[in-house]
Amino acid sequence: MTKISITPQDARFPEDFVWGAATAAYQVEGAAHEDGRGDSTWDVFCRRPGAVFEGHSGAVACDHYHRYREDVGLMRELGIGAYRFSVSWSRVLPEGRGVQNAKGLDFYDRLVDELLAVGIQPFCTLFHWDLPQGLQRAGGFVNRDIADWFADYAALMGTRLGDRVKLWVTQNEPQCYIGFGVGSGIHAPGLKLDFSETLHAAHNSMRAHAKAVGALRATVPGARVGYVLATQLCRPASSSAADLEAARAATFAVSDRTLWNNAWWTDPVVRGEYPSDGLALFGSDMPRFPSSDLAAMRAPLDFLGLNVYRAQTVRAGDKGPEQLPVPPGYPRSGVDWQPITPDAMYYGPRFFHERYGLDQWITESGLSTRDQVFLDGKVHDPQRIDYLHRNLLELRRAMREGVPVKGYLAWSLLDNFEWADGYKQRFGLVYVDYQSQRRVPKDSFHWYKQVIATRGQSLAGQFAVPVTQVSAD
């Protein structure tokens, strides 16, 4: 361990920087069978024996549908300036298209109005993995018509909320809902398609994104529209120029026959082209599509949303970048896939800015820990505080070097349904007792409140920081 000293001036974020928190509809809303909501793929998947940890589902979740006023009150107490939520597509269009559900639309009206009443900017995500089951029966993302269905849905929400909501995300983490849902089958809808069909679904998801961008711009005056990635980040094993270049190259390389990369999902929607290394690697598995698709997929974006949790460590090798294993005993979160690598929050935004030049939002950042209510009635989560602290210092470093990050949205406001892991994981700033639905703000909630109130100045001082490089020897 070494120590660094951060001055209050260095730690302070710009006045227009937006602090916030995020959730997703299926993870928090509950009320899965109330007020006309239709089934989503996740409702159906959760009913499949063995699909989700201990048979959990999002049928009740955090009951946010009924408790949103209480939750907005917590947001107000926290002092956030923006709240990223997603719309349950099947709550507003029970079959995904056709007949609208007035009660579902009314819910999002009420939520947005409640946020605005306490000075919180609503930040709306159209799709966070919960595809209406009616559309899945019609082929889901394998069906080319999904682009038009998604555009119609975007137009509906833009028309309904666009007078009050100006920040929009089309899709959250396409790598996950296509990779896990269509490819490996460990998430809804639980398909295990061959690689060619999975590539076809990925192509259609990006077409759908682009059409939704157009629909939002047509219906929302002054809309700011973005696209959110599950970033696959790399950090250099040392401070050498060679390792830095290796990490930069590896961050955007398509180096294996999977969709777990960045460039395959971002180059088409920003540059209007697939990365050449991916085309060469995927070869005959590439789907056939009209040449006009690529130009259409390049719908101008206002920002990229980066979900930043961890990074792989990379060094320069004789044959290109080499990934280093996580050392034995290295710090991890409550989920095995998340080693603690705070400098991911520096290198990720930096590399994305160098490649694409767009404004950025950190749309998710957080840590799962095995939280509990202690005998004193409080929830002590020092690991989460430390994780957020280190990450924010790294983000401030990137911003001081010119990376245009507009805001930071902690994942998550509430403990919630963590997909195939059910309720085993807790990422929230607020503890949720799922039996009673009692909310208990954690120590991290109060810590983040202080960070927000001081615009980051409370991050200053002398802190122990871990060695950020893994030995290349």
Percent above pLDDT 70 for the chain: 96
Between 201 and 9, name the one with better pLDDT. 201
Please state the rounded mean pLDDT for residues 85-103.
Answer: 98
Determine phi and psi for 123, rounding to 5 degrees: -130, 105
Q: What is the pLDDT of residue 466?
A: 47
Q: Of 347, 468, 399, 307, which is closest to residue 12 (Cα–Cα)?
A: 399
Average pLDDT, the chain: 96
Question: pLDDT (tens digit, 9 = 90+) per residue, 257-275?
Answer: 999 999 999 999 999 999 9
Tokens read off for 357: 């030049």
CA–CA distance, 84 with 363 (Å, rounded to integer): 8
Contact 368, 383 (CB under 8 A): no
Asked if pLDDT for residue 472 goes beyond 70, the answer is no
Catalytic residue positions?
173, 364
Q: Which residues pair with 6 in a beta bridge?
A: 461
Q: What is the pLDDT of residue 8?
A: 81
Between 387 and 470, name the one with better pLDDT. 387
Q: Confidence band (pLDDT; 50, 70, 90) for 469?
A: very low
Q: What is the pLDDT of residue 467?
A: 35
In the chain, what are the domains? Answer: 2-465 (3.20.20.80)
- Angle, helices 102-117/146-161, rounded to nearest 10 degrees: 50
Give the torsion through C-alpha atoms of 85, 91, 96, 101, to 10 deg: -130
Q: Confidence band (pLDDT; 50, 70, 90) for 10?
A: confident
Contact 53, 95 (CB under 8 A): no
Determine phi and psi for 291, rounding to 5 degrees: -60, -25
Contact 420, 186 (CB under 8 A): yes
Question: pLDDT (tens digit, 9 = 90+) per residue, 335-348?
Answer: 989 999 999 999 99
Q: Confidence band (pLDDT; 50, 70, 90) for 188?
A: very high
DSSP 8-class letter at 335: S
Q: Spell out a b/e string for 373-410, using b for 16 or more CB atoms within 10 Å of the CB, else e.
A: eeeeeebebebbbbbbbbbbbbbbbbbeeebebbbbbb
Number of C-alpha atoms within 13 angstroms, CB side, residue 376? 5
Chain-centre distance of CA 166, in angstroms? 19
Q: Confidence band (pLDDT; 50, 70, 90) for 473?
A: very low
Angle of CA points 173, 146, 209, to nearest 5°? 40
Q: Confidence band (pLDDT; 50, 70, 90) for 463?
A: low
Q: Spell out a b/e string for 291-304, using b for 16 or more CB atoms within 10 Å of the CB, else e.
A: eebbebbbbebbbb
Q: Confidence band (pLDDT; 50, 70, 90) for 471?
A: very low
- Name the helix (H) or strand (E) containing 306: strand 303-307
Question: pLDDT (tens digit, 9 = 90+) per residue, 15-37?
Answer: 999 999 999 999 999 999 999 99
pTM of the predicted protein model: 0.96
Question: pLDDT (tens digit, 9 = 90+) per residue, 392-450?
Answer: 999 999 999 999 999 999 999 999 999 999 999 999 999 999 999 999 999 999 999 99
Q: What is the pLDDT of residue 462?
A: 65
Tokens read off for 24: 């997703």
Q: Confidence band (pLDDT; 50, 70, 90) for 7?
A: confident
When mean pLDDT is compared across 6-10, 72-76, 269-273, 401-405, the lowest value belongs to 6-10
CA–CA distance, 464 with 367 (Å, rounded to integer): 19
Amino acid at 212: A
CA–CA distance, 32 with 126 (Å, rounded to integer): 18
CA–CA distance, 153 with 216 (Å, rounded to integer): 10
Contacting residues for 380 by C-beta, under 8 A, at least 6 apart: 374, 442, 443
DSSP 8-class letter at 80: -
Give the torsion through C-alpha atoms of 263, 267, 268, 271, to 10 deg: 180
Distances (CA, A) of 206 to 123, 298, 307: 21, 9, 18
